[in-house]
Amino acid sequence: MVTKGPLPYDAVVAQVTRLLAPVLGESMAIASTNAHGQKLAIQDGHVTPDQVEALVTKLGSGLAVFVGREKAAALAAEMRAAVAQLGSAP
C-alpha cells in the first residue's frame, strides 16, 4: 500500500506529473493523470490509498506503450515512493 491515510488529490497529481513530465511532456502528464483520476472518480478532494494504487497502476500500464514494460514498472515504483512520502510528511 502506498500510504496509510487519505491524501490531497492535488498533491498526488503534482507528485505523479512531476515524474511523468520528462517522459510524456508536462501537458500530457497532467492530462493523463487527470483523465485516469476522472475515470476512477478520484479527481477531487482526498484520495484513499486504494485509489492512489489504482491510479498508479493505470498510469503505469499506459506508460508501457511509450517506454516499454520495464521502464513503466520503474516509473510506477517511483510514483508510489513519491506519493508515500506525502503520507509521511509532517
CB-CB contact of 83 with 49 (8 Å): no
Cβ(21)–Cβ(68) below 8 Å = no
Q: Higher model confidence: residue 1 or residue 25?
A: 25
Quick check: 2 pLDDT over 70? no
pLDDT-derived band at 5 (thresholds 50, 70, 90) equals: confident
Predicted confidence (pLDDT) at residue 65 exceeds the cutoff of 70: yes
**Three-point CA angle 3, 8, 10, nearest 5°:** 120
